[in-house]
Amino acid sequence: MTTILLAIVIGMAFGAVLDRIGASDPSIIGWMLSLKALGLAKTILLAIGVGSVLMFAGQMIGLVDVGHMSVKAAYIGVFIGGVMLGAGWALAGFCPGTGVVAAASGRHDALFFIAGGLLGAAAYMVTYPAWVASGLLENIAGGKTTLGMVPGADYPGLTGLPGDLLGIVLGLGFVAVAFALPERLLGAPQGQRHPAE
């Protein structure tokens, strides 16, 4: 029960932060994806970088149990799904997480987005045998593979590099990009923010 309560509290805090930085506002998402306002992109890169540094450094010094690391298998369907997610994010202005946050903050359009996502998930479940038969769900590049070797993990590495150090270096790279990225790459954002109704 404590684990569930902790998950709810952390989820609510994460949702509040997402809403605060504008991730639940489709206009800000649109500006970011059109490279007209990169504040949200900078925040995302910074969060990924700091999280990566903390996680891999924690693994190196024994504070984080490698057994909690979960690696998803690579297969063609993942790449197709990623393209579909990106296109849907650009069209709707929400991704699954920000859609839930937007609905919780009072955005009625996010409810339609969530309903569409649930219908899409149901359609995938119903057609799952056809996707399996198509071969799009078969592992590629070793399936559950990491970029570097992580001591104590059961996942093979694509390179012989130490995964913990590689994770820290990549995380620092994300942090550097977050600070180096300008506020915009193309024109100024047009229109205004559309907060929850």
Residue 192, domain member (yes or no): no
For residue 28, count other CB atoms closer than 10 A to its CB. 20
**Domain count along the chain:** 1
pLDDT value for 190: 67
Residue 188, domain member (yes or no): no
Residue span of the structural domain in which 77 resides: 2-180
Q: What is the pTM of this model?
A: 0.77
The confidence band for 1, taking pLDDT boundaries of 50, 70 and 90, is confident
The confidence band for 191, taking pLDDT boundaries of 50, 70 and 90, is low
Residue 56, domain member (yes or no): yes
CA–CA dist 152, 167 (Å, integer): 15
pLDDT value for 121: 92
Q: What phi, psi does 75 have (nearest 5°)?
A: -155, 160
Q: Is the per-residue pLDDT at 180 higher than 90?
A: yes
Residue-wise pLDDT for 20-50, tens only, equals 888 888 888 888 888 888 888 999 999 999 9
DSSP string, 23-85: TT-HHHHHHHHTTS--HHHHHHHHHHHHHHHHHHHHHHHTSS-GGG---PPPBHHHHHHHHHH
Residue 151, domain member (yes or no): yes
